[in-house]
Amino acid sequence: MKRVLTNRKIRILYFTFLLGGTALAQHSPTPVFEGKIGKTVETTIESAPKNNPKAPAGAPNIVWIQIDDIGYGAISAFGGLIETPNIDRLANQGLRFTNFHTTAFCAPTRAALLTGRNQHSVHFGFFASNSYNTPGYDGYLPFEKATVGEILRENGYNTFAVGKYHLTHPADATQAGPFNRWPTGRGFDHYFGFSPEVAATDQWHPILYRDTQREPEDAKGRHVTELLANEAIGYISGQKAAAPDKPFFLYFAPGAVHAPHQVGQEWIDKYKGKFNIGWDQYKEIVLKNQKALGVVPANTKLGPKNPGVKDWNALSADEKKLFERYIEVYAGFVSHTDHEIGRIINHIEQIGQLENTLVVVLVGDNGAEGAGREIGRFLTNKRDETPEQTVSRYVKNIDKLGTESSSVLYPDGWAAATNTPFRYYKSYGNFEGGTRDPLILFYPGKIKDKGGVRHQYSHVNDILPTTLELAGARVPAVINGYSQEPIEGVSLAYAIDAGNKNAAERHNVQYHEMTGSYAIYKDGWKASFPRDRSKRIPESEEKWHLYNLKQDFNELDDLAAKNPEKVKELAEVFDKEAWKYNVYPLKDKWETANQSIFDGRKKVTLYPETHYTGSSAFRFSNASYAISAHAVIPAKGAEGVLLSYGNTLSGLSFYVKNSKLVFAYNSEGKVLELSSDKPIPTGDITFKAQLLYSDNKKEKEVTLYINNEKAGTLNLGAIATAGSGYEGLEVGSDVGTTVTPAYKAPFSFTGVLKDVVIEKI
């Protein structure tokens, strides 16, 4: 009897090939009715629809934990001096992967993680907020490359995303949508977290969304990581109560420990005095710990200091005092994050689910953040101050460091130390210090080599295929009507069994690229080409470098001059990969495509109770503008904010107080205010603030108008342009930290606010 291959079977085989042999789930959009219809109920045979996918019996729950901006040498599970007992527990009962790589920046890493593809392949070579209209950089995840949420939902899972998403284009991140690229449009049943296009939020005054709607500010003033953990626990509890046999997928991605470093004082105090050893000795101790754990080779040596990092012993007393507090705050933030992760893991254990739960912990979406430079920041680094003056001012305000009155990022010395033993930082796609992070797999049901260490090369796009293989999940050929393209990562499941701990690595070719710097890994060799926009690396070094990572763990011995043929070979491999995955053209400049829906519009009308993040809002850039508010002032008077933009460190506010119209301009923490020279009348009023730049674009002058009558003028001088910070634009209030100390948040307008019009002049 001949075997006949139908079109459908051919299609299944084709997609099986495309997806690297991954089995395919097939779900009919409309189930076939299998009963019988009669004229009456008595003569009808019912048949319930069977279109809901069901996970295989015993399918594990899955938790992905993505920590933000943390280096290889920070946490105790990888030899660092910051205590993370809950992550340690997962590592000690699971596996540590020492050769795991991210993309050097957060959004590209998350795009590769959620889709199992290379970041440029899914259009995230950089950020959507700095997009560029070519396929590798436009910031729109293609539907032909499904997310883990979409895939697991088709495999009978409930899917939840909590925390930072950062993969929605700013042009889509308003209440106009479209919402098909918000988390709930890309496979997640529920989302609770930041506005889906932003990279970070204030830890004490977060701007949060539930699915597609903004959440009110937490009345108890709790830390955002606690709020996120509470929500994750709530999702799990509700799901298991309703469907105890149905597995869940949780993507837990707190903003921690991305700047601003803010945490409760009790966590800061936990580390008081523990880092007076300084960053040089920190690195030495951590390297020794790492060798003992087996997460670096025994012959690993510390490399030369990164440019701009001083010897600890050469610092002044004020610098040491300030820099110790920076790392105490950061360490407290890391430990607090570990505590909240522990609450989630403990809850899963308490409900009897931990034995059958796969937990993947990605300790960093890139290397440690090196944007703090020599002295870091927690208030503002003013352009008219010397570094010594800034340090002195910071020391006088040191008790604010880590509180809601600060926006903290530690100096480069601590970024380099917490990145031990690698050189450079986040954003350096060509250095291991930008791309290598700890990875932990925990799965009691299948991992028997408790505390094992694995050294095979791996990449963030490997996490999805690893998860699918361990869970026995299948990739549908078609999801939501879109034919699926190949998964590009490689499953790490082959290395889990103790007998395979030294198995040959299967992910043996991988390119890296970020902001014009690039590298190629192949079979233990790495060729890299730095192009440094931060100017730490001299232009003379912008050439091919070559390292044998099997022998040179942290890239200290450049072999390019000795092996020109190997350099040529790898350069050709990079070029091939770059063309294949949309890496070209290299985006080594900051020019961007339109991002906000307001870009290109000279006039915008906004309405009360609306909010826009800094990346999605109207841009108050180096151009003159006018803000007009149409309001009704009752006979008893009114007060409150008409429009606010930014926070306590930078921004502007247009408000009414004490029967006066006021415009506040906050530049680098310095607030200049202009009050109207006459009281405001009652009735229908038009308020206007007009900000004009001088011809040389340096000085600014603001003028107030009430019902088109001039009501005061103030020359602001040549001050820095106000920014949005983490809080964006509000109409009718100032939520979070206030632009000016003249009022307390939210200072909502008590009259009738009809609209606010912003117009470029």
Report the length, in residues, of the chain.
761
Residue 381: partners with Cβ closer than 8 Å, 6 or more residues away: 375, 390, 668
Contact 732, 612 (CB under 8 A): no
Tell me the per-residue pLDDT of 332-384, one tens digit each, with 9 for 90 and over. Answer: 999 999 999 999 999 999 999 999 999 999 999 999 999 999 999 999 888 88
Q: Give the tokens for residue 276.
A: 């007076």
Strand ordering across the sheet containing 700-706 = 603-606, 752-760, 625-633, 683-693, 700-706, 709-717
The rounded distance, in Å, linking the Cα atoms of 333 and 263 is: 6
Give the model's confidence band at 593: pLDDT under 50 very low, under 70 low, under 90 confident, else very high.
low
Cα torsion 89, 94, 96, 100: sign: negative
The rounded distance, in Å, linking the Cα atoms of 109 and 88 is: 23
Mean of the per-residue pLDDT values of the chain: 93
The rounded distance, in Å, linking the Cα atoms of 188 and 182 is: 9
Tell me the per-residue pLDDT of 169-217, one tens digit each, with 9 for 90 and over. Answer: 998 998 999 999 999 999 999 999 999 999 999 999 999 999 999 999 9
Quote the percentage of the chain above a pLDDT of 70. Answer: 95
**Per-residue pLDDT at 37 exceeds 60:** yes
Give the model's confidence band at 283: pLDDT under 50 very low, under 70 low, under 90 confident, else very high.
very high
Tell me the per-residue pLDDT of 540-551, one tens digit each, with 9 for 90 and over. Answer: 999 999 999 999
Q: Is the peptide bond before 254 cis (omega within 30 degrees of 0)?
A: no
Give the model's confidence band at 623: pLDDT under 50 very low, under 70 low, under 90 confident, else very high.
confident
At what angle are helices 317-350 and 278-293 packed, to 10 degrees? 30
Cα torsion 40, 41, 43, 49: sign: positive
Beta carbons within 10 angstroms of residue 272's beta carbon: 12
Contact 150, 220 (CB under 8 A): no
Contact 300, 421 (CB under 8 A): yes
SS3 category, 332: helix
- 1 or 395, which is more confident: 395
pLDDT for residue 614 = 77
Residue carrying structure tokens 């025994």 = 298
Q: Strand (E) positions, 530-580?
A: 545-548
Instruction: Give how far the C-alpha of residue 22 lies from the chain's centroid of Cα atoms, to the nearest Å.
Output: 29
Cα torsion 451, 452, 456, 461: sign: negative
DSSP per residue over 189-202, as a string? SEEEEE-TT-S---
Cα torsion 270, 276, 282, 288: sign: negative
pLDDT for residue 16 = 40
Q: Please, where are the H alpha helices in 453-536?
A: 463-471
Mean pLDDT of 54-81: 97
The rounded distance, in Å, linking the Cα atoms of 302 and 137 is: 36
The rounded distance, in Å, linking the Cα atoms of 451 and 96 is: 7
pLDDT for residue 695 = 77
Span of 296-310, 410-424, 722-736 with lowest mean pLDDT? 722-736
Give the model's confidence band at 19: pLDDT under 50 very low, under 70 low, under 90 confident, else very high.
very low
The rounded distance, in Å, linking the Cα atoms of 313 and 398 is: 21
The rounded distance, in Å, linking the Cα atoms of 688 and 146 is: 48
SS3 category, 369: coil
Mean pLDDT of 577-587: 95
User: Which domains, ranges and CATH numbers included, belong to the chain?
Assistant: 61-500 (3.40.720.10), 509-580 (3.30.1120.10), 603-760 (2.60.120.200)
Q: Give the tokens for residue 48.
A: 């319930």
Contact 118, 109 (CB under 8 A): no
Q: Give the tokens for residue 128.
A: 């959507």
Instruction: Give how far the C-alpha of residue 544 lies from the chain's centroid of Cα atoms, to the nearest Å.
Output: 30
The rounded distance, in Å, linking the Cα atoms of 509 and 521 is: 5
The rounded distance, in Å, linking the Cα atoms of 617 and 596 is: 6
**Per-residue pLDDT at 260 exceeds 80:** yes
Mean pLDDT of 559-565: 98
Angle at 350 between CA 345 and CA 353, to 5 degrees: 70
Give the model's confidence band at 596: pLDDT under 50 very low, under 70 low, under 90 confident, else very high.
confident
pLDDT for residue 12 = 38
Give the model's confidence band at 591: pLDDT under 50 very low, under 70 low, under 90 confident, else very high.
low
